[in-house]
Structure 1
Amino acid sequence: MNIAVIPARGGSKRIKSKNIRAFAGQPLIAYSIQAAKAAGIFDDILVSTDSEEIARVAKAMGATGIIERPAALADDFIGTTPVVQHAIKSHQDIEDSPPDYVCCIYATAPFISASSIVEGYSKLVAAQTMKYAFSVTTFPFPIQRAIRMSGKGVEPVDPGSMASRSQDLEECYHDAGQFYWGTPEAWLGSDGMFAPHSIPVVLPRHMVQDIDTPEDWERAELMYRAYVADTKK
C-alpha cells in the first residue's frame, strides 16, 4: 500500500488562500492531486488540512481522504515532517496494515508530473536500503561564486572560487519542493532527509518554481503557460 500526503493548511500569509487560489484555470492544489492520481500507484491520496474550504476543494479535485490537522500542527512554525507523521498515524488508525511507502506532495507544485513521482518511487523501491527519494534541480548559477552584501559593499562568499571558470566548479543542486518519498519507518524515525540515505530525482529547472510571493505566482503562471501546458504528461 502506498499513500500520498498533501499538506495544505489554511493560514497562508503572503498569498491569501494560496493552496486553493485559481492558478492557470484551476485551484493550485488540483495539480498535485491530479498528478498523484495519474501516477496510478497510490491507494490513498490524503490532504492534511485545518481548513474546511480546502478540504471541500480537495475532495472535489479527487482526494480520497482528508486528515483533520490539529491547531498545534497548523501554525507558521511547523515543519513538514510532523504533519506527515500525524497523517501516517491517523491513516494507520483506520487501516489494518501500515503503508509500504509514503509520498509527501506539496500543494503548491503545479509543475509536478506523474512521471517524476513514479520515477522517485521506482528508484526508492529498487534501492531497498535507501530511506527517501525526493525532487531536486540545479542552481542556475555556480553557488561558489555567490556574493554577500554588507555595510561596506559586497564580498565573495568563497573568495577562492571567484576566478574559476563556471565549468570548472562543481554543479550543485537544491530541493525542488515537489515530492518526497519515504518509508513509514523513515518518516516516523529521527533520520533526516538531506543525507546519504536519500536518492535525488533531478528535474529540469524550467519545471521547478517556488511560489511564496505574488511575484513568484505571476512568474510561475507565465512559465506554466509557456512550458508546461503542452508538455506535461
Structure 2
Amino acid sequence: MTNIAVIPARGGSKRIPRKNIKMFHGKPLISYSIEAAIKSNCFDRVIVSTDDEEIAEVALSFGAEVPFLRNKELSNDFAGTTPVIQDAIFQLDDNDIEYICCIYATAPMISEQDICAGLNTIELKENCNYAFSITTYDFPIQRSLSLNQENIVAMHSPDLFNTRSQDLEECWHDAGQFYWGTREAWQQGLPIFSSNSIGIKLPRHRVQDIDTLEDWDMAEMLYQIRSKS
C-alpha cells in the first residue's frame, strides 16, 4: 500500500494574482509545501494538481510530480478541495493507495514533523477518517461581535459578557495546512470536520491563512521571526 501527497494549486487566484508561485522569502510559495512533503518521507509520490503549465513547471523543478493537468471545471473559484482530491485519485488510477494527504500550496510554515504526526495519528487511531492541522483562536470567540451597516455592534453571545476570559472554553479552528485522509473517506466525500477526525495541534505562531495581501505580509513577518529563532 502507498501514501501520496496531493497539493492543489490552481492558476486563477484573484486577490493575490499568481499566489501559488509568487516569491515568498526568495522562493515560490508552493515550494515550501513540496519540500516539506518530500522531507517528511511519508509519501511514495508528491503530486501537484494544477490547471496551469507555469505552476506545473515550478512544481517539477522542486521535485514534485505533475502527472496530469487538472480540468478547468475543477479550477474555478467554486471548486472545493474534496472534488480535487477525488479527481487526483481517479486520474492516478492506483488501487494500492491507502492514505492521501492534501497539502495546501499556501502553507510556508508547514513542517515535516507535523505531517508525520498526522500520518501516525490516522494509522493508529481506530475508525479515523481524517487527521488535519488545527490551532487555537487568538481571542475568545464567545466575545465575537456582529456589525450592521451603521457600525452598531451586537454580541453573538451576550449571556457571556460578564464571564472571565479564562473561564471560557478554548476553541480551535482549521489551520489550513494539511489533511490526511483514507482513500475511502476522500472518495466517499465524508465530512472532514466530524467525530471521526483527529486534530493535529499547531502553535498559532506557525499558522497564517494567506488570502489577502495583508495576510501575505503577516505570513512573511511570522516566517522571518521563526527563521531567526
Is TM-score (shorter-chain normalized) higher than 0.5?
yes
1:72-105 deviations in Å (ceiling 9; x for gaps): 101111111000000011112xx4x331100000
Q: 3-state SS of the aligned residue for 1:11?
A: coil
RMSD of Structure 2 on Structure 1 (CA): 1.1
TM-score, length-normalised on structure 2?
Answer: 0.96
Q: Distance in 2 between matches of 1:44 and 1:85?
A: 16
Q: Distance in 2 between matches of 1:105 and 1:48?
A: 11
Letter in 1 for 2:116: V
List runs of 5+ in structure 1 lacking aligned partners: none
Q: 3-state SS of the aligned residue for 1:176?
A: strand
Sort the Cα spacing of 1:170 and 1:190 in 2 relative to 1 into closer, same or farther, 3 A: same
List runs of 5+ in structure 2 lacking aligned partners: none
116, 119, 122: which one aligns with 2:120: 122
1:192-217 deviations in Å (ceiling 9; x for gaps): 01000000001000000011111111
Aligned to 1:211: 210
Matches within 5 A, 1:73-222: 73-92=74-93, 95=94, 97-150=95-148, 151=150, 153-222=152-221
Q: Distance in 1 between matches of 2:47 and 2:19?
A: 18
Aligned to 1:45: 46
**CA drift at 1:46:** 0.5
Q: 3-state SS of the aligned residue for 1:68?
A: coil
1:22-42 deviations in Å (ceiling 9; x for gaps): 001100000000000010010
Q: Distance in 2 between matches of 1:5 and 1:210?
A: 19
63-72 vs 76-85, greater mean Cα deviation? 63-72
TM-score, length-normalised on structure 1?
Answer: 0.95
Q: Answer whether contact 1:44 1:65 (CA < 8 A) is retained.
A: no
Q: Distance in 2 between matches of 1:117 and 1:182?
A: 12
Q: Answer whether contact 1:20 1:28 (CA < 8 A) is retained.
A: yes
Q: Distance in 2 between matches of 1:85 and 1:4?
A: 13
Aligned to 2:26: 25
**CA drift at 1:120:** 0.6
Q: Distance in 1 between matches of 2:17 and 2:41?
A: 32
Number of residues of Structure 1 aligned to a counterpart in Structure 2? 227
Runs (4+) of structure 1 exceeding 6 A deviation are none
Q: 3-state SS of the aligned residue for 2:177?
A: strand
Letter in 1 for 2:89: I
Aligned to 1:16: 17
**CA drift at 1:152:** 6.6
* Percent of residue pairs bearing the same amino acid type: 52
Letter in 2 for 1:83: V
Q: Answer whether contact 2:82 2:189 (CA < 8 A) is retained.
A: no
Sort the Cα spacing of 1:152 and 1:32 in 2 relative to 1 into closer, same or farther, 3 A: closer
**CA drift at 1:67:** 3.1
Q: Answer whether contact 1:131 1:197 (CA < 8 A) is retained.
A: yes
Q: Answer whether contact 2:117 2:200 (CA < 8 A) is retained.
A: yes
Aligned to 2:36: 35
Q: Distance in 2 between matches of 1:162 and 1:121?
A: 41
Q: 3-state SS of the aligned residue for 1:35?
A: helix
Q: Answer whether contact 1:8 1:54 (CA < 8 A) is retained.
A: yes
